[in-house]
Amino acid sequence: MSFYVTTPIYYVNAAPHLGHAYTTIAADVMARHHRQRGDDVFFLTGTDEHGEPVALAAEAAGVTPRELADLNSERFRALGPRLGASNDFFIRTSDPEHGRRVQEVLTRVKDNGHVYEGTYEGWYCPRCADFKTESEVEDGNRCPIHHIELIWEQEENWFFRLSTFQEPLERLYAEQPEFVRPRARYNEALSFVRGGLQDISLTRAKTRWGIAVPWAPGQVFYVWFDALLNYYTALGYARNGEDLTPRFWPASYHLIGKDILKFHTVFWPAMLMAAGLPLPHNVFVHGFLLMDGEKMSKSLGNVLDPFAVIDRYGTDALRFYLLRDVPFGQDGSVSTAAFEARYETELANDLGNLASRTIAMIHRYRDGVVPASAPDPALVADFEALVPRVCELVDRAELTQALEEAWERVRRLNRYVEEQAPWTLAKDDTRAADLDRVLATLAEGLRVVTVVLAAWLPTTATTLLDALGAPDLALDGARLGAGALGRVATIEPLFPKGR
């Protein structure tokens, strides 16, 4: 099966922060998990570089838009490896190949009769690069997201006949109830559609920093259409000499934050219909990471620096925390205190201690070799259910619940250690076979749960599975007793305390 997952492409008018890291990490968990299932995976992220906001930020910084884009795109690109992101390509909308494909697709939209010339007037937020509808405008003509004053804009440009897609979109929502999730976001998108759709401007006459409109000299495409098309254009040029489009289009999952719901659940499917292209299977809308009750964003100044967190605690700790503490799909507050608590109680105590004591006991009691005993039947059934359940949850992008399923097994193994008290068995020679079984069960249980956790904790999983002498990540083998473990190496604490 092929699996294609995307993150939004991030604006280069600011540096990356934890909110961006969040979506990238979530997409990476899905990509890694699907690779472990043996799927043919493509994972895309990148930067959105055109439009007014970038031009304005560049002007303020006294550099050209391209210079600013180069600088900040590089920061987003550098964030990827620090997060453990295994993206297969990093798109920049300033790539000439992207520009050519945008021109091709949007010319097709025009040839199909969905574009006309007109005058646009409305309240415009330069930070969103978007006109606001009357109902969105905050008191004092302010942007509901940035709280800055909106500008009344008027210009001659080309329009996309979004209004004619109301019925096709309603049909899409009726026929594909999974198109947008969670359900509350589906309802929000559908009610936006039902509220009536106005045509929207497809081009900009004032802005220079963008992709030229082939049929209207002096105009560029509205940055949002240029940006949305990245999901499609990237497949055409990500691999030299190979067009990946037939292999991966339509996308399996677009992961987005709720701030860009309208673009992905209304404009984007309409645009694809207008171009005669197949629609993505799922748009999953996650919530906001909040600090002090407000969306974390550069413009509000309340950001946590992901680089600093990773320097101190490592990549896996951040990945774990973000998908554990805030249920994926909902809003949630993040804080240093909550992060530290999760780190200590769950990573260091639950998983870290389970790993170190399991490995230490195998060394102490069996000279570092896992006994060739069948695993305890009491745990086999519970562990059999793990992989199918996690697959089902990841299929629905329920990444927090899926992680909890794995964590239940970590806790189960810790209870098993206490129940079986291997240190007592070790004192009694007549219980040698029991001790063999307990140690074999613990080692196998640890291996299985680590394979499942590898999508969330890739660095830890590699260290641990290497120590167990079983580096295979395939989920097929994540069954108790499938492992045939032998000699195990010693390990340093996985999550050292007192950082």
Catalytic machinery residues? 17, 20, 125, 128, 143, 146, 295, 298
Does 256 contact ligand MSP by CB under 6 A?
yes
Window of 7-15, 56-64, 410-418, 423-431 that interacts with ligand MSP by CB under 6 A: 7-15
Q: For residues 283 and 293, what is the distance between their CA atoms, to the nearest angstrom?
A: 26
- 22 makes contact with ligand MSP (CB under 6 A): yes
Q: Taking CB under 6 A as the rule, does residue 227 contact ligand MSP? A: yes
- Considering only 5, 19, 284, 455, the residue that binds ligand MSP (CB under 6 A) is 19
- Least distance CB 11 / ligand MSP (angstroms): 4
Count of residues interacting with ligand MSP (CB under 6 A): 21
Among 257, 371, 422, 458, interactor with ligand MSP by CB under 6 A: 257
Per CB under 6 A, 288 contacts ligand MSP:
yes
107 burial type by CB count under 10 A (0-12 exposed, 13-18 middle, 19+ buried): middle
The answer to the question of residue 4 lying near ligand MSP (CB under 6 A) is no
Q: Which of 3, 4, 10, 165 binds ligand MSP (CB under 6 A)?
A: 10
Task: Say how far apart CA 151 and CA 422 lie, in whole Å.
Answer: 71
Interface stretch with ligand MSP, choices 5-13, 133-141, 169-177, 335-343 (CB under 6 A): 5-13
* CA 98 – CA 9 distance, rounded (Å): 13
Binding window for ligand MSP (CB under 6 A); candidates: 55-63, 187-195, 294-302, 489-497: 294-302
Residue 25 to residues 226, 286, 320, 324, 468, Cα–Cα distance (Å): 24, 12, 9, 12, 26
SS (H, E, C) 426-472: CCCHHHHHHHHHHHHHHHHHHHHHHHHHCCCCHHHHHHHHHHCCCCC
Of 9, 143, 220, 448, the one binding ligand MSP by CB under 6 A: 9
Q: Per the structure block, which two tokens stand in for 490?
A: 């010693």
Where b means 16+ CB within 10 Å and e means fewer, 129-160 reads bbbbeeebbeeeebbebbeeebeebebebbbb
Give whichever of 37 and 286 is closer to ligand MSP, judged by the CB atom: 286
Q: For residue 153, report the phi and psi dihedrals to the nearest 5 degrees.
A: -110, 145
Among 238, 260, 397, 417, binds ligand MSP (CB under 6 A): 260
Exactly one of 259, 344, 350, 408 binds ligand MSP (CB under 6 A); that residue is: 259
CB of 20 to ligand MSP, least distance (A): 5
Give the H or E element holding residue 173.
helix 166-175
Q: Please pick, from the candidates 3, 4, 5, 20, the single residue that binds ligand MSP as defined by CB under 6 A.
A: 20
Minimal distance, residue 42 CB to ligand MSP, in Å:
16
Compute, in degrees rounded to 10, the torsion defined by CA atoms 260, 1, 449, 444: -170
CB 76 within 8 A of CB 12: yes
Q: By CB under 6 A, name the one of 228, 361, 370, 425 that touches ligand MSP.
A: 228
Report the C-alpha gap between 493 and 470 in whole angstroms.
19
User: Of the two residues 26 and 354, which places its CB atom closer to ligand MSP in the complex?
Assistant: 26
In sign, the C-alpha dihedral spanning 53, 21, 403, 39 is positive
Strands 332-333 and 115-125: unpaired
Phi, psi (deg, nearest 5) at residue 368? 80, 10
Q: What is the 3-state secondary structure (H, E, C) of 101-159?
A: HHHHHHHHHHHCCCEEEEEEEEEEECCCCEEECCCCCECCCECCCCCCECEEEEEEEEE
Closer residue to ligand MSP, CB minimum distance, 332 or 481: 332
Candidate residues 150, 289, 310, 390; the one interacting with ligand MSP per rule CB under 6 A: 289
Contact segment (CB under 6 A) with ligand MSP among 191-199, 223-231, 272-280, 346-354 equals: 223-231
98 vs 161 by CB, closer to ligand MSP: 98
Question: Binders of ligand MSP among 128-157, rule CB under 6 A?
Answer: none
Which of 296, 347, 449, 473 is in the footprint of ligand MSP by CB under 6 A? 296
In whole angstroms, how close is the CB of 416 to ligand MSP at the nearest point?
Answer: 37
Query: Toward ligand MSP, which CB reaches closer, 23 or 36?
Result: 23
Nearer to ligand MSP, 228 or 417 (CB): 228
- Crossing angle between the packed helical segments 377-384 and 432-453, to the nearest 10 degrees: 10
Stretch that binds ligand MSP, among 81-89, 232-240, 295-303, 417-425 (CB under 6 A): 295-303
- Our finding on whether 49 is near ligand MSP (CB under 6 A) is no
Q: CA nearest 147: which of 161, 136, 162, 135? A: 136
Helix (H, G, I), strand (E, B) or coil at 346: helix
Q: Does the footprint of ligand MSP cover residue 5 (CB under 6 A)?
A: no
Contact status: 48 vs ligand MSP (CB under 6 A): yes
Closer CB to ligand MSP, 91 or 115, in the complex: 91
- Residues making contact with ligand MSP (CB under 6 A): 8-11, 19-20, 22-23, 48, 227-228, 230, 256-257, 259-260, 288-289, 295-297
